[in-house]
């Protein structure tokens, strides 16, 4: 129903303008700002494309036995209380889920971290 190009296309195009045309014309202190603008646009684009958050939320709710809205807090509190320490029944499942949550979060915020860089 909405007109194209869509938001993702516009953001990507705007980012190219910032990097290719605006940045080279700026004095050095302002270049840092322009690089931050480009980084923010790239991040927002990755966030739009991120997949799997809903499934992870559901898994987290199942693991903690809390509702989806409270599951993060319940997981954090359970970890602090030692309920998922090594040697406990839920340790392996908790670590596996935690890794997949961290991978999704890093894929949006800092994808280079995942390639070992």
Binding site for another protein (CB under 8 A): 29, 33, 36-37, 39-40, 43, 72-73, 75-77, 79-80, 82, 84-85, 95, 98-99, 101-103, 105-106, 108-110, 113-114, 117
Could you tell me the smallest distance in angstroms from the CB atom of residue 109 to another protein? 4
Could you tell me the smallest distance in angstroms from the CB atom of residue 21 to another protein? 19
Residue number, 5 or 58, with CB nearest to another protein = 58
Q: Which residues contact 92 (CB under 8 A, 6 or more apart)?
A: none
Count Cβ atoms below 10 Å from residue 35 Cβ, excluding itself.
14
Encoding tokens for residue 73?
A: 């807090």
From CA 60, how far away is CA 42, in angstroms rounded?
28
């Amino acid at each position: 129903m909405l007109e194209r190009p869509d938001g993702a296309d516009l953001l990507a195009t705007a980012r190219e303008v910032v990097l290719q045309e605006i940045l080279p014309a700026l004095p050095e202190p302002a270049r840092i700002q322009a690089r931050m603008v480009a980084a923010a646009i790239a991040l927002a684009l990755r966030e739009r494309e991120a997949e799997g958050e809903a499934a992870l939320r559901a898994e987290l709710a199942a693991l903690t036995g809390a509702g989806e809205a409270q599951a993060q807090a319940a997981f954090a509190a359970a970890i602090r209380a030692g309920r998922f320490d090594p040697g406990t029944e839920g340790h392996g499942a908790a670590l596996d889920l935690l890794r997949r949550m961290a991978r999704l979060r890093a894929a949006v915020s800092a994808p280079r971290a995942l390639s070992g860089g």
